[in-house]
Amino acid sequence: MATLVRWAPYSELASLHNEMSRFMNGLLDGNGRQTQSWVPVADVWETENEVVYAFDLPGIPEDKISVELDDNTLTVTAERAREQQVEDGRYYRFERRYGTFSRTIGLPQGVSEDSIKAEYKHGVLELHVAKPEQPKPRKIQIGVGGSEPQKTIEGSAERK
Does position 33 have pLDDT exceeding 60, yes or no? no
0.75 exceeded by pTM: no
Does position 43 have pLDDT exceeding 60, yes or no? yes
CA dihedral 106, 110, 115, 117 (to 10 degrees): 0
Q: What is the reported pLDDT for 154?
A: 67
Give, in degrees to the nearest 5, the angle at Cα 132 between 129 and 134: 150
Query: Alpha-carbon distance 61 to 13, whole Å?
Result: 36
